[in-house]
Amino acid sequence: MTDQTLLDLIAPDSVAYWTHLGIEVHSAERGHVELRLEMRDQLGTRLPGIMHGGAVGSLIDSAAGAATSTLRQPDDETWSGQATTDMNVTFLAAATGRIVADARVLRSSRSFSFVQVDVHAEDGTLVATGRATYTIIRRRS
């Protein structure tokens, strides 16, 4: 189930890079998002029809960031942003069509979130898995 308030927090059209890559939000709930990315020639490698690992990695980072964004409380005026501090990606199979990133916050605090992201092809094949740590940037009083 996707909550409109959460969609507003992770609005894909507010991130130019998401628009450039073609990342779409499939669903969002607190601490969990699914993003989609369609294979197209501009995301390919030298081998026709295979998505570049950089595009897959960008989807993982985007999904982890979006999952982190869903943690923000509407009345929290100290939250001024977030940034990736660490990311690890393991590529397991070639991505040849639409892929879906399933990101879940494993643990979070006032300052950090730790996110697991699995990327699957439409047939269910696990294409890549990643973990990201995000710092939550807060305004000082």
Q: Residue type at 60?
A: I
Sign of CA dihedral 57, 59, 62, 63: negative
pLDDT band for 74, please (50, 70, 90 cuts).
Answer: confident
pLDDT band for 140, please (50, 70, 90 cuts).
Answer: confident
pLDDT band for 141, please (50, 70, 90 cuts).
Answer: low
Over residues 115-131, mean pLDDT: 97
Domains and CATH numbers, the chain: 4-138 (3.10.129.10)
Sheet harboring 99-108: ordered strands across? 24-29, 32-37, 99-108, 112-121, 126-138, 79-91
Instruction: Determine what percent of the chain is predicted with pLDDT higher than 90.
Output: 82
CA atoms within a 13 Å half-sphere pointing along the CA-CB vector of 91:
13
pLDDT band for 116, please (50, 70, 90 cuts).
Answer: very high
Q: What is the pLDDT of residue 122?
A: 93
Among 35, 34, 33, 31, which residue's Cα sits nearest to residue 107? Answer: 31
Which residue, chain included where needed, has tokens 């009345």?
Answer: 75
Phi and psi at 104, nearest 5°, equal -130, 130
Rounded Cα distance between 135 and 71, Å, is 12
Contact (Cβ atoms closer than 8 angstroms) between residue 33 and residue 65: no
- pLDDT exceeds 60 at position 9: no
Phi and psi at 109, nearest 5°, equal -140, -170
pLDDT band for 130, please (50, 70, 90 cuts).
Answer: very high
pLDDT band for 118, please (50, 70, 90 cuts).
Answer: very high
